[in-house]
């Protein structure tokens, strides 16, 4: 098993290398840098700007800059932000907490919503409840994230005034107090719920199909003929089988949430990594944008790998391969 | 003896399009969605041809923020542009872009999937590694980077969307082709010495037409969603190409959202109606692609 993991991690290295090379190449094609606008500032002359570019090494060929960037990345240094004049790691780190909290809460909501619905739909196949749940999964799959977010923003923030529509915490509270954490949670709920309601489809469909298929499988027939109570058949036999892939879905799900929250963070004006990415692109702050893309790519691959690893640990049949 | 030598009566399998139509015809909701979608498309294209786009897009500050009724059926936006006409032109633009992007993405994805799935072996290995590499790319971020990079035209915007929209189709078509390739009819053809290209296009493709159609429709819907999303967060089409997303993004501030819902709600609902209809029809077509899931 560890051989597989090692091999997967080894494949990861050329993949990330190629990816960062592509990013750097694109960034080098981009016209402009954050300093172009400085020429209108009274304190800057054109020579000052040129000196700034020279000092930051922006005038060198992109390959040279790439090699240097790479050398730094290996020791965990993503460079300095051109706009914030601080290390990229710090700039991203400030936002990472928010995005991580948002993703985790979304994930919790996904499991809370999806597991009961999936079980009910499977057990009450073809009833009204089942049809309603299947219809919901259709909506969740088809709904464009932005539109759903805008509609939720309007209903729950502006009409009902239940949730705040901007930021990640109320500015009036002092960090560390209970009020501060409650306010933070309140800011998280609506964006997290929006992401979660659209993210349940996979688990619901999986559970439903699993239960329906199990109904006609031998182990359930055997259990029934032995007189095992229906409740025990579901809890001990069917759901135990289904629980593995659901747990293993955790990895890819969290990776997808971290990477896929740009739209949600933008609509809810939530200060996370997605919003940071958008603003860094708008201000041509390439070190930050590069760093974020790299982090998201790593998160995606590690998420998928973790999921597979879970399956290998839990399911002996996969381990043998 | 006579009886045996007589050719067996050939039972014609229903054509793929017939199978799709039968499935749609028996699902009244899907039929309704198809009808609604056709009505929207018709209105958008015919309406946009009649409307004077220049006049519609002209800013007229004396009539800004008019509520619905009173000369303007659906009111006016922040710069005095009539909402109804904007909706029609915007819907047409959104539709053209989504359909074209989905078409080209599907062609790439289908060819890629067919080649990888049918030839297998080395070819498949190489193609799948390419696909794996593209899959770990944070797609949305890369799309944004490339849009900023290729700033400007509608064509560039479309090309960037195509660049990532074909991945899902390629994976799905490869899986479908693998399934078909393992079937006896393909093996029989191979044994008879039929050329691969003939097997692919004359024998495999007709069997997966419903699946292809489904992927095409679903790609249209998802492209529409992504186009709207990108436009709303500020990386969309150039502002002189009005789409439904631009209408929403202009009204995406607390004041406009609460006090002037007519400026964004119709656009949001129109996108929603189109996306849901396309998806529902697409899923019905998807059922037609799998004999076990067909309802008729």
Q: From CA B248, how far away is CA B242, in angstroms rounded?
A: 11
Cβ–Cβ under 8 Å, residues B248 and B77: no
CB contact (8 A) between residue B254 and residue A158: yes
Nearest to A150 among B142, B224, B268 (CB): B268
Interchain contact B261–A (C-beta under 8 A): yes
pLDDT of residue A321: 46
CA distances from B111 to B104, B173, B183, B194 (A): 11, 8, 20, 20
Nearest CA in chain B to A8: B132
Interchain contact A25–B (C-beta under 8 A): no
Interchain contact A21–B (C-beta under 8 A): no
Smallest Cα–Cα separation from B224: which of B213, B236, B212? B236
pLDDT at A191 over 60: yes
Interchain contact B232–A (C-beta under 8 A): yes
Cβ–Cβ under 8 Å, residues A163 and A189: yes
Nearest to A259 among B138, B149, B279 (CB): B138
- What integer is the mean pLDDT of A255-274? 82
Q: From CA B169, how far away is CA B113, in angstroms rounded?
A: 8
- Give residue for tokens 């959104």: B94
Q: C-alpha B72: how far from its chain's center?
A: 32
Q: Calculate how close chain B gets to A17, using CA atoms only, in Å.
A: 11
Top-confidence residue, A160 or B172: B172
ipTM for the assembly: 0.82
User: A with B: how many residue pairs have Cβ under 8 Å apart?
Assistant: 110
Question: Which residues in chain B have Cβ-Cβ distances shorter than 8 Å to A131?
Answer: none
- What integer is the mean pLDDT of A50-76? 75
Crossing angle, helix A2-29 and helix A286-314, to 10 degrees? 160
Top-confidence residue, A177 or B145: B145
Nearest to B140 among A143, A260, A267 (CB): A260
Dihedral-angle region of residue B66 (phi above 0 means left; psi in -120 to 50 means alpha; beta otherwise):
beta
pLDDT of residue B110: 92
Cβ–Cβ under 8 Å, residues B229 and B256: no
Q: In chain A, what is the straight-line distance between the N-terminal and C-terminal CA atoms, in Å?
A: 9
Question: Which residues in chain B have Cβ-Cβ distances shorter than 8 Å to A263?
Answer: 140, 229, 232-233
Interchain contact B248–A (C-beta under 8 A): yes
Cβ–Cβ under 8 Å, residues A299 and A13: no
**Tens-place pLDDT, residues A3-58:** 777 877 787 788 788 888 887 787 777 666 666 666 666 676 767 777 766 766 66
Q: From CA B73, how far away is CA B86, in angstroms rounded?
A: 12
Q: C-alpha A88: how far from its chain's center?
A: 20
**Tens-place pLDDT, residues B168-199:** 899 899 988 888 888 888 888 888 888 888 88
pLDDT of residue B107: 94
Chain A window 130-159: which residues touch B at a Cβ cutoff of 8 Å? 138-139, 141-147, 150-151, 153-154, 158-159
Mutate to test the interface with B, among A14, A16, A141, A147 (most CBs of B within 10 A): A147
Question: Which residues in chain B have Cβ-Cβ distances shorter than 8 Å to A305?
Answer: none
- Give residue for tokens 């570019």: A53
CA angle at B272 for the pair B270 and B273, rounded to the nearest 5°: 65
pLDDT of residue A125: 84
pLDDT at A278 over 50: yes
Interchain contact B137–A (C-beta under 8 A): yes
Q: From CA A29, how far away is CA B145, in angstroms rounded?
A: 11
- Give residue for tokens 């896929």: A260
Torsions phi, psi for B69 (to 5 deg): 85, -170
pTM of the model: 0.83
Q: From CA B51, how far away is CA B65, in angstroms rounded?
A: 21
Q: Calculate how close chain B gets to A228, using CA atoms only, in Å.
A: 32
Q: From CA B237, how far away is CA A159, in angstroms rounded?
A: 31
CB contact (8 A) between residue B257 and residue A153: yes
pLDDT of residue B9: 62
Mutate to test the interface with B, among A144, A157, A287, A290 (most CBs of B within 10 A): A144
CB contact (8 A) between residue B280 and residue A260: no
Smallest Cα–Cα separation from A306: which of A248, A246, A265? A248
CB contact (8 A) between residue A262 and residue B233: yes
Q: Under 8 Å CB-to-CB from B163, ≥6 apart: which residues?
A: B143, B146
pLDDT of residue B36: 93
Interchain contact A292–B (C-beta under 8 A): yes
Q: From CA B62, how far away is CA B51, in angstroms rounded?
A: 21
Nearest CA in chain B to A155: B258
Interchain contact A163–B (C-beta under 8 A): no
pLDDT of residue A34: 64
3-state secondary structure of B76: strand
CB contact (8 A) between residue B136 and residue A19: yes
The CB-based long-range contact list for A308-314 (8 Å cut-off, 24+ gap) reads: A308/A8, A308/A248, A308/A251, A309/A5, A309/A251, A310/A244, A310/A247, A310/A248, A310/A250, A310/A251, A311/A244, A311/A245, A311/A248, A312/A1, A312/A4, A313/A1, A314/A244, A314/A247, A314/A248
Cβ–Cβ under 8 Å, residues A256 and A82: no
Is the torsion defined by CA of A150, A156, A157, A158 positive or negative? Answer: positive
> Which residues in chain B come in under a pLDDT of 50?
1
Report chain B's mean pLDDT, rounded to a whole number. Answer: 83
- What integer is the mean pLDDT of A74-103? 82
Mutate to test the interface with A, among B145, B164, B220, B222 (most CBs of A within 10 A): B145
Q: From CA A197, how far away is CA A203, in angstroms rounded?
A: 12
Chain A window 74-133: which residues touch B at a Cβ cutoff of 8 Å? none
Cβ–Cβ under 8 Å, residues B245 and B231: yes
């Amino acid at each position: 098993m560890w051989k597989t993991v090692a091999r997967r991690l080894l494949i990861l290295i050329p993949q990330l290398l190629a990816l960062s090379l592509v990013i750097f190449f694109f960034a080098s094609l981009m016209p402009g840098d954050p300093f172009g606008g400085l020429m209108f500032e009274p304190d800057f002359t054109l020579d000052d700007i040129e000196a700034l570019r020279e000092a930051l090494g922006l005038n060198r060929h992109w390959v040279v800059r790439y090699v240097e960037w790479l050398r730094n990345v290996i020791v965990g240094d993503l460079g300095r932000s051109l706009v914030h004049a601080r290390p990229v790691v710090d700039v991203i780190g400030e936002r990472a907490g928010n995005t991580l909290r948002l993703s985790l809460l979304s994930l919790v909501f996904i499991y809370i919503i999806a597991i009961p619905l999936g079980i009910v739909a499977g057990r009450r196949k073809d009833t009204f409840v089942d049809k309603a749940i299947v219809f919901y999964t259709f909506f969740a799959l088809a709904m464009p994230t932005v539109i759903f977010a805008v509609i939720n923003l309007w209903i729950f923030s502006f009409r009902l005034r239940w949730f705040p529509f901007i930021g990640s915490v109320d500015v009036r509270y002092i960090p560390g107090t209970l009020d501060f954490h409650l306010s933070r949670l309140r800011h998280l709920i609506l964006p997290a719920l929006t992401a979660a309601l659209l993210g349940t489809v996979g688990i619901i469909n999986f559970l439903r199909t699993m239960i329906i298929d199990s109904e006609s499988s031998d182990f359930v027939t055997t259990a029934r003929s032995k007189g095992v109570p229906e409740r025990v058949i579901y809890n001990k036999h069917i759901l135990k089988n289904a629980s593995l892939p659901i747990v293993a879905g955790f990895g890819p799900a969290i990776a997808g949430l971290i990477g896929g929250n740009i739209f949600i963070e933008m609509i809810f004006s939530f200060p996370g990594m997605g919003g940071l990415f958008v603003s860094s692109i708008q201000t041509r702050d390439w070190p930050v944008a590069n760093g974020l893309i790299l982090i998201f790519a790593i998160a995606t691959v590690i998420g998928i790998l973790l999921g597979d690893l879970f399956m290998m640990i839990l399911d002996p049949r996969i381990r043998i391969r | 003896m006579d009886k045996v030598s007589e050719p067996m009566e050939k039972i014609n399998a229903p054509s793929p399009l017939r199978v799709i139509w039968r499935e749609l015809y028996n699902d009244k909701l899907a039929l309704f969605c198809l009808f609604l979608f056709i009505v929207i498309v018709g209105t958008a294209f015919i309406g946009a041809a009649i409307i004077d786009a220049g006049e519609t897009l002209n800013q007229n500050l004396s009539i800004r923020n008019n509520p619905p009724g009173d000369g303007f059926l659906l009111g006016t936006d922040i710069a005095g542009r009539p909402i109804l006409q904007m909706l029609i032109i915007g819907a047409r633009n959104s539709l053209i872009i989504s359909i074209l992007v989905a078409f080209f993405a599907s062609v790439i994805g289908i060819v890629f999937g067919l080649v990888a799935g049918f030839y297998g072996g080395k070819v498949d290995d190489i193609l799948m590694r390419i696909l794996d590499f593209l899959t770990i790319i944070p797609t949305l971020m890369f799309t944004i980077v490339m849009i900023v990079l290729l700033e400007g035209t509608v064509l560039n915007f479309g090309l960037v969307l195509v660049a990532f929209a074909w991945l899902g189709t390629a994976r799905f078509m490869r899986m479908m082709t693998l399934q078909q390739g393992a079937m006896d009819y393909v093996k029989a053809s191979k044994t008879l010495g039929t050329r691969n290209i003939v097997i692919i296009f004359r024998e495999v493709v007709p069997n997966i037409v419903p699946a292809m159609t489904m992927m095409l429709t679903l790609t249209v819907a998802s492209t529409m969603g992504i186009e709207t999303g990108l436009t709303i967060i500020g990386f969309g089409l150039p502002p002189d190409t009005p789409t439904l997303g631009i209408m929403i993004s202009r009204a995406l501030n607390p004041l406009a959202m609460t006090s002037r819902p007519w400026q964004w709600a119709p656009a949001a609902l129109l996108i929603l109606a189109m996306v849901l209809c396309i998806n529902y029809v697409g899923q019905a077509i998807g059922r037609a692609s799998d004999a076990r899931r067909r309802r008729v």
